[in-house]
Amino acid sequence: MEMVVVAPPAPGRLEDLKRRFFATPLQALLSLISLTIMALIVWKLLDWAVFSAVFTTTGGPEACQAAAGACWSVIAARWRIILFGLYPFEEQWRSALACVSVVIMTVLSCMPAFWTGRRIALVWGAGTGLYYVLMKGGVLGLPYVGEEAWGGLALTLFIFVTTCLIGFPLAICLALLRRSDLPWISRTTGLIIDGVRSLPLISILFMFAVVLPFALPQWLQGDKLYRVILGSALFFSAYQAEIVRGGMQGVPAGQEEAAMALGMSYWQRIGRILLPQAMRNALPATINQFVISFKETSLVVIVGFFEILASGNAAYGTGEWRFAYVEVYAFIAFIYFVFVFSLSRYGAYLERRMAVGER
Amino acid sequence: MVSLLRNQKVRNALLQALYVGSLAAMVLACVMIARRNLAEQGITSGFDFLFKSTGWDVNFSLLPATANDPYWWFFLIGIVNTLFLGATGLILATIVGTIVGLARTSSNELAQLLGRTYVDIFRNIPLILQVFFWYAVITHLPTPRAAHEAFGMLLTSRGLYVPVPNVGGIAFAAAILAVIAAIALPLWLGRTSHLGQPFGERVGIQLTAAATALATAAVILALGRLPDLPLLDFPALQGLNLKGGMRIPPEFSALAIAIAIYGGSYIAEIVRGGFKAVGKGQMEAALSLGLSPWRVFTLVRLPLALRAMLPILANQYVWLMKATTMGIAVGFTDFFMIVALTINHSGQTLEAIGILMSGFLAINLSLAAVFNRINKAIALKGNQLRG
């Protein structure tokens, strides 16, 4: 980063640098302060994470604790529990493959070629189905593994994907109901959406995980995991519904009137005229909502799930690695960062691309 | 009958009744089943439990709390804790966000890079992970015997010990109010409506007001001082424990730091967006009128940017307020954790959920009301029709 500045200046380059960073005394001061902060952080980080760090497991925790820098051995020793949780050791390749299938599905759905309702539904259905079969087993000679043994990154991805898969259609339904001409339908739906939005996600997860079993008949209770996913999908859909509604408001009224004049039925108007244009308007905000909800899957740790954050806590929580919490959290933060950052960069790219189309 | 169904009005009415009715029936059924299940466990519904004593304790409270206190008092403690954490987090996040946002909008490319790196890193790591991280950092600090010392504060695994003045509670609160007045008065006196006065005179009035308020604070502190004790009470090691000063528990500091850093990265983007929304022509016009760069900033750029960012900022504040519920992850007794503990201990599930919902509704609505008021006060007057 600061390489631009310290690189040996070619003739003429110096003038350029002077103009860019040292034009006035105030500018020079700002540049110097920023440069010092940057150099300090970069140097300290590099020293801690690379130069003085321990990478191998040979020395064991004691040798690692004595080192001045980071102790990456804890990752080498515990990466399996962080990524896969309590999933049976010999079957963990399935968990890894399931994660890969979700990633491929996400990448595919980022390609414009898959942006028709049918194709995107197909990709997500197939990806989630593949994930489910791989994780749960019981068919094709794969041993059965119950949901209570799922954990780590695989569980985080599962909760995220199913939240979107249930929440997205629900959001479209809620948005359509809210803009209905019938006053009672739109008012009631508005009440539901605003009610859900005014509550914190944690309280909704808590209600679905802990309180709901009291209020449901026995046959409807289901597994705690699926109840929590439903809660998180409801929360996602309340926010997403407002985004979709915003997108619908951006479609000129003439479009729908023209469709009506052509004699199209309600579902034809919605499915072929309104939604395609509304989704296009809502795309950047939608990606942003996906990013937020990916980060928020981490909250299920509070209602007792063994997702990546909880498995990270467990990875350093036991005796000998107690001191290595920074390394474990850095590792998990890095995993989150890779997913979230690439998704949000993609969102920013889409926004630019669409802005070009509208100019 | 069939002809009635063909009537558009009748059909619409039926449809609406069906939709609202089925939703209401679902909720009603859930409530009935819950009441039956709870009654089987011997839990009677109703709000009588609010006046029973809880039998459990909270680890952080601004108000006096014992296990003998009734439930309603604990709910109050929870709300006060949530508001206190929220206010601390919001103020810190706003400070961080303003600095980073200004760095991102500055003309210096290095400062921009620094700001962008900050936002990119901390916005993309979940808040709860950051809470866990800071909690781990603080609880891994040395024990009180080997505490780090900085500016009279002691950093230990049991919490942060800060020196407090030996001043009576009411006098201390009054002094804080006076200090706030010392900051707010000059701002209020410097409003654009006072622009008629010459610049020097205005600054003089502002300085006098600030100095008077600060002097008042000092007098209050001197009068309210507890006799025979030093003015500042420093924490110090006594035996195996720390005496004196005030202890800020690790749960609170972890949450406040995490909210400040994470929220700061979002607020930085809002600040940047607000400044970007100010037209270049406005600033050029101000400069060409001969205003100094500082006055262009305070009189033109900042007020216009504030107007643009305030509605978005209000949303972000509401979000951060809700994020205080993450306290339950590290055991900070905020409003939500009190509700969860109530459900666990008393079993009064439905009532507790009702209190939870109305509590958050009240917090959200009052925040929204405050911001609407501010928004109205600073909105451009007169030419609202530009649309």
Chain B residues in contact with A209 by the CB 8 A cut-off are: none
Cβ-nearest to A344 among B124, B129, B349: B124
Please, what is the Cα angle at A123 between A119 and A124, to 5 degrees? Answer: 120
Q: Note the ipTM here.
A: 0.85
**DSSP track, A216-257:** S-GGG---HHHHHHHHHHHHHHHHHHHHHHHHHHTS-HHHHH
Q: Are A341 and B20 in contact (CB < 8 Å)?
A: no
User: What is the mean pLDDT of the segment spanning A339-356?
Assistant: 82
Q: Note whether B296 and B23 are within 8 A (CB).
A: no
Distance between CA B110 and CA A22 in Å, rounded?
11
Please tell me the predicted confidence (pLDDT) of residue A355.
67
User: What is the mean pLDDT of the segment spanning A72-100?
Assistant: 79
Q: Note whether A60 and A46 are within 8 A (CB).
A: no
Confidence of residue A356 (pLDDT cuts 50, 70, 90): low
- pLDDT at residue A232 above 90? yes
Q: Exposure pattern of B59-93 as b/e (b: 16+ CB <10 Å)?
A: ebbeeebeeebebebbbbbbbebbbbbbebbbebb
Residue of B nearest to A23 (CA): B108
Characterize the bridge pairing of strands B159-162 and B153-156. Answer: antiparallel
Chain A residues in contact with B157 by the CB 8 A cut-off are: none
Q: Are A185 and B34 in contact (CB < 8 Å)?
A: no
Distance between CA B248 and CA B254 in Å, rounded?
10
- pLDDT at residue A129 above 90? no
A65: tokens are 């604790």
Question: Where do we find the tokens 């109703």?
Answer: B46
Distance between CA A323 and CA A60 in Å, rounded?
13
Please tell me the predicted confidence (pLDDT) of residue B1.
62
pLDDT per residue as tens digits for the range B22-54: 999 998 988 888 888 888 877 777 777 777 777
Please tell me the predicted confidence (pLDDT) of residue B385.
45
B314: tokens are 């209000």
Pick the residue with more confidence: A62 or B138? B138
Q: Are B353 and A207 in contact (CB < 8 Å)?
A: yes
Q: Note whether B158 and B144 are within 8 A (CB).
A: yes
Q: Are A182 and B356 in contact (CB < 8 Å)?
A: no
| Residues 226-265 in B contacting A (C-alpha not used; CB under 8 Å) | none
Distance between CA B113 and CA A56 in Å, rounded?
34
B295: tokens are 């006055």
DSSP letter, residue A12:
T
Chain B nearest C-alpha distance from A40 (Å): 12
Residue B226, H or E segment:
none
Cβ-nearest to A199 among B129, B140, B360: B360
pLDDT per residue as tens digits for the range A248-277: 888 888 888 999 999 999 889 888 888 888
Chain B residues in contact with A202 by the CB 8 A cut-off are: 325-326, 328, 336
Distance between CA A79 and CA A191 in Å, rounded?
45
Please tell me the predicted confidence (pLDDT) of residue A233.
94
**How many alpha carbons fall within 13 Å on the CB side of residue A218?**
0
User: Which phi-psi region, left, alpha or beta, contains residue A140 (left: φ > 0; alpha: ψ -120 to 50)?
Assistant: left
Distance between CA A165 and CA A162 in Å, rounded?
5
**DSSP track, B174-193:** HHHHHHHHHHHHHHHHT-GG
> Mutate which of A329, A332, A344, A346 to disrupt the B interface (most B C-beta within 10 Å)?
A329
Please tell me the predicted confidence (pLDDT) of residue A2.
46
Distance between CA A96 and CA A83 in Å, rounded?
8
Q: Are A184 and B19 in contact (CB < 8 Å)?
A: yes
Give how far Cα A20 sits from Cα of A25, B113, B350, Å: 12, 14, 63
> Mutate which of A16, A20, A176, A214 to disrupt the B interface (most B C-beta within 10 Å)?
A214
Residue of A nearest to B141 (CA): A323
Please tell me the predicted confidence (pLDDT) of residue B261.
94
User: Which residues of chain B, if any, have pLDDT below 70?
Assistant: 1-2, 152, 165, 168, 190-199, 226-233, 237-244, 380-387
Question: Where do we find the tokens 């960012």?
Answer: B309
Phi, psi of B137 (to 5 degrees): -60, -45
A89: tokens are 């050791």
B106 close contact with A: CB closer than 8 A:
yes
Q: Note whether B61 and B77 are within 8 A (CB).
A: yes
DSSP letter, residue B43:
P
Distance between CA B177 and CA B187 in Å, rounded?
15
Of B152, B355, B112, residue with least CA distance to A30: B112
Chain B residues in contact with A325 by the CB 8 A cut-off are: 133, 136-137, 140
> What is the CB neighbour count within 10 angstroms for residue A296?
21
Cβ-nearest to A185 among B16, B31, B336: B16
State chain A's mean pLDDT as an integer: 82
Distance between CA B30 and CA A38 in Å, rounded?
57
Cβ-nearest to B357 among A20, A199, A206: A199
Q: Are A188 and B23 in contact (CB < 8 Å)?
A: yes
Q: Which residues pair with B155 in a beta bridge?
A: B148, B160
Distance between CA B198 and CA B203 in Å, rounded?
9
CB pairs under 8 A between A and B: 139
**What is the pTM (predicted TM-score) of this model?**
0.84
| Residues 24-63 in B contacting A (C-alpha not used; CB under 8 Å) | 30-31, 33-34, 37-38
Q: Are B128 and A309 in contact (CB < 8 Å)?
A: yes
Q: Note whether A299 and B130 are within 8 A (CB).
A: no
Q: A240: Cβ–Cβ under 8 A, 6 or more apart, which residues?
A: A167, A168, A171, A286, A289
Angle A183-198/B8-40 helices, nearest 10 degrees? 40
User: What is the mean pLDDT of the segment spanning A15-42?
Assistant: 82
Give how far Cα A222 sits from Cα of A71, A208, A228, A258, Å: 42, 11, 10, 46
Q: Are A323 and B111 in contact (CB < 8 Å)?
A: no
Q: Are A298 and B133 in contact (CB < 8 Å)?
A: no
Pick the residue with more confidence: B198 or A197? A197
B16 close contact with A: CB closer than 8 A:
yes
Chain A residues in contact with B31 by the CB 8 A cut-off are: 215
Chain B residues in contact with A287 by the CB 8 A cut-off are: none
Calculate what percentage of chain A has a pLDDT beyond 90: 10
**DSSP track, A340-351:** HHHHHHHHHHHH
Q: Are A30 and B110 in contact (CB < 8 Å)?
A: yes
Question: Where do we find the tokens 């493959």?
Answer: A97
A11: tokens are 């003739």
Please tell me the predicted confidence (pLDDT) of residue A28.
83
Pick the residue with more confidence: A359 or B294? B294
Of B212, B216, B233, residue with least CA distance to B168: B233
Distance between CA A249 and CA A89 in Å, rounded?
51
Distance between CA B80 and CA B67 in Å, rounded?
18
User: What is the mean pLDDT of the segment spanning A32-46?
Assistant: 88
Chain A residues in contact with B124 by the CB 8 A cut-off are: 295, 336-337, 340-341, 344
Q: Note whether B117 and B110 are within 8 A (CB).
A: no
Q: Are B30 and A215 in contact (CB < 8 Å)?
A: yes
Residue of A nearest to B331 (CA): A302
Chain A residues in contact with B33 by the CB 8 A cut-off are: 214-217
Please tell me the predicted confidence (pLDDT) of residue A216.
80
> What is the CB neighbour count within 10 angstroms for residue A259?
18
Distance between CA B93 and CA B83 in Å, rounded?
15
Cβ-nearest to B110 among A21, A199, A302: A21
Chain B nearest C-alpha distance from A119 (Å): 29
Please tell me the predicted confidence (pLDDT) of residue A359.
42
Chain A nearest C-alpha distance from B337 (Å): 9
> Mutate which of B125, B262, B346 to disrupt the A interface (most A C-beta within 10 Å)?
B125
Residue B18, H or E segment:
helix B8-40
Distance between CA A65 and CA A178 in Å, rounded?
58
**DSSP track, B236-257:** EEETTEEESSEEE-HHHHHHHH
